[in-house]
């Protein structure tokens, strides 16, 4: 369909126009390997370092703190596994609503004999800070918490979590993947030891991300076989992706305030329209501390998978949760952790959008969503 509406930015965002243009130029004009000493290689090296500096500026960190990786999933694995490998008697804690690239790593480390803990959340998706502190008292050595949840948009109290981690001497890792490009991100102010990021959630390319390390903190490599990234991430650098990362990071630095305002208006517009539905609809997540671009809703008695399939036929791309669990028949672990029974958890649908989603698209989408919800509710 020529009039499709893309409302799945939390899975991945379309390339921003300037990102696409600069990557195309790189594919045609920057052929070198960034580790080569000839001029083509040094030009490629210069582009990689420009990307590092641009991302560092976008998140308020020094350039030398940024380790470029293949994306947030790799970055999360690197931070957690490096800590488990390098720490005497490690004890790793995360929240129950983390992305699978954190939660499943923690579970796997537990199966391997590492002491792990998972902190519960309330009905808004916010972690139980008393339970978190109790775990810290028991000797937790690393706390991992996402800045913003990819399914509900809930913004977690990462500053408070960081203060608790610091008080008990634990390393603090923040998954900032969904925060960058939606809300202000200041790594220095955050006080975290590590922050992980991905370019494609903010209109950059897929296949590149970063670990940002506090001064004095280091991550070990997941793989061996190369000296790139000062030995922390071997493999030939993806120069076109680095150039795309730079363009996206520069856009974030220049336009975040405008993006934030426009995204909040779009979210309010969509929610105001959806709650006029004759089918009862529930907002899921934190109604106050949340991303400006994300809306997780459930229409009473309407199965989320049925809703998504019908919406797809109507030209709307949306999802029920993390793209990393697509195809799973199980309800969202995030919604279950918030206390919903399985049948209600299956009703959740997530709509997420970005700076290129205009008002007309939101209004058109709302009409199609309401029509589908009413039809499916009648069938149920």
pLDDT of amino acid 328: 54
pLDDT of amino acid 379: 75
Q: Which of 187, 190, 193 is nearest to 172 (CA)?
A: 193
Alpha-carbon gap, residue 67 to 216, rounded angstroms = 14
Out of 129, 254, 323, 324, the active site residue is 324
pLDDT digits (tens, 9 = 90+) for 252-301: 999 999 999 999 999 999 999 999 999 999 999 999 999 999 999 999 99
Query: Which residues are CB-neighbours of 113 under 8 A, at least 6 positions away?
Result: none
- Mean pLDDT throughout 106-121? 98
Alpha-carbon gap, residue 380 to 371, rounded angstroms = 14
Reported as a pLDDT band with limits 50, 70 and 90, residue 28 is: confident
Give SS3 for 276. coil
| Lowest model confidence (mean pLDDT) among 21-35, 108-122, 267-281 | 21-35
Reported as a pLDDT band with limits 50, 70 and 90, residue 330 is: confident
Query: Which of the 8 DSSP states describes residue 357?
Result: -
- Mean pLDDT throughout 204-212? 98
CATH class of 5-14+256-379: alpha beta
Structural domain spans, the chain: 5-14+256-379, 17-251
pLDDT of amino acid 351: 98
- Say whether 94 is catalytic: no
pLDDT of amino acid 298: 97
C-alpha distances out from residue 119 to 95, 141, 164, 205, Å: 5, 14, 14, 33
CA atoms within 13 A on the CB side of 206: 6
Q: Which of 322, 288, 329 is nearest to 122 (CA)?
A: 288
Task: Look up the pTM and report it.
Answer: 0.95
pLDDT of amino acid 49: 97
| Lowest model confidence (mean pLDDT) among 26-35, 259-268, 321-330 | 321-330
- The bridge status of strand 194-198 relative to strand 171-175 is parallel
Q: Which of 380, 221, 372, 377 is nearest to 310 (CA)?
A: 372
Dihedral pair phi/psi, residue 352, rounded to 5°: -140, 145
pLDDT of amino acid 2: 63
Q: What's the CATH fold of domain 17-251?
A: 3.40.640
Q: Which of 318, 323, 310, 328 is nearest to 348 (CA)?
A: 318
Torsion of CA 197, 65, 56, 166, to 10 degrees: 70
pLDDT digits (tens, 9 = 90+) for 78-87: 999 999 999 9
């Amino acid at each position: 369909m020529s009039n499709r509406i893309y409302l799945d930015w939390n899975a991945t965002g379309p390339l921003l126009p300037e990102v696409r243009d600069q990557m195309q130029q790189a594919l045609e004009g920057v052929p070198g390997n960034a580790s080569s000493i000839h001029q083509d290689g040094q030009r490629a090296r210069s582009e990689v370092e420009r990307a590092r500096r641009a991302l560092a500026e976008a998140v308020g960190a020094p350039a030398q703190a940024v380790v470029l990786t293949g994306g947030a999933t790799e970055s999360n694995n690197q931070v957690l596994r490096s800590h488990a490998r390098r720490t005497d008697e490690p004890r790793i804690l995360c929240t129950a609503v983390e992305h699978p690239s954190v939660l499943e790593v923690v579970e796997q480390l537990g199966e391997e004999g590492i002491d792990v803990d998972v902190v519960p959340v309330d009905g808004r998706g916010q972690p139980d800070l008393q339970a978190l502190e109790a775990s810290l008292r028991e000797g937790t050595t690393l706390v991992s918490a996402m800045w913003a949840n990819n399914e509900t948009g809930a913004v977690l109290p990462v500053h408070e979590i960081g203060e608790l981690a610091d008080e008990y001497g634990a390393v603090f890792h923040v998954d900032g993947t969904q925060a960058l490009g939606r809300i202000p991100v200041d790594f220095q102010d955050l006080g975290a030891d590590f922050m992980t990021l991905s370019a494609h959630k903010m209109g950059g390319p897929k296949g590149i991300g970063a670990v940002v390390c506090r001064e004095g903190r280091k991550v070990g490599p997941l793989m061996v076989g190369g000296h790139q990234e000062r030995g922390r991430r071997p493999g030939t650098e993806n120069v076109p992706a680095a150039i795309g990362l730079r363009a996206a990071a520069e856009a974030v630095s220049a336009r975040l305030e405008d993006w934030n305002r426009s995204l909040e208006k779009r979210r309010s517009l969509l929610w105001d329209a959806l709650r006029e539905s004759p089918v009862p609809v529930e907002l899921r997540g934190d109604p106050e501390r949340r991303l400006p671009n994300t809306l997780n809703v459930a229409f009473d008695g309407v199965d989320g998978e049925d809703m998504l399939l019908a919406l797809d036929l109507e030209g709307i791309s949306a999802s029920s949760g993390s793209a990393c669990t697509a195809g799973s028949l199980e309800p969202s672990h995030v919604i279950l952790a918030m206390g919903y029974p399985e049948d209600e958890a299956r009703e959740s649908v997530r709509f997420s959008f970005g700076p290129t989603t205009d008002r007309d698209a939101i209004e058109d989408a709302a009409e199609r969503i309401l029509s589908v919800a009413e039809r499916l509710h009648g069938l149920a």
